[in-house]
Structure 1
């Protein structure tokens, strides 16, 4: 899968960070750096070159993680 150029990235897009080896959602931009967030609240920034679009499987991982995190916050 090819990596997107800086103009192809958008807030809310699911991406895979090759540096940290995990999917996340784009929450913002700071120059060449992209701000990423996981459903658990983990946030970090990475250079846009380290990103590629998330696969359908990785998007499902993010959805499942969000559901698990909501359930744990409810105390179930």
Structure 2
């Protein structure tokens, strides 16, 4: 699978893959980035070539709902 830090939210009102900002979005981004920076391969944002060759995550982080929506 993909080597990435996924931060909230994982769902949005429209039920599609779109950025879903939480009230603490800046804090979650900071924590995700701090974690990702400790793993050089993750921080590069490189795709999982065997499964998702076109997926790229800048600095190894992504908003959950923007990546894929998980209702609930």
- Give the TM-score category using the shorter length: under 0.3
Higher strand proportion: 1
Give the TM-score, by structure 1 length: 0.26
Give the TM-score, by structure 2 length: 0.27
Higher RCO (CA-CA < 8 Å; seq separation 6+): 2
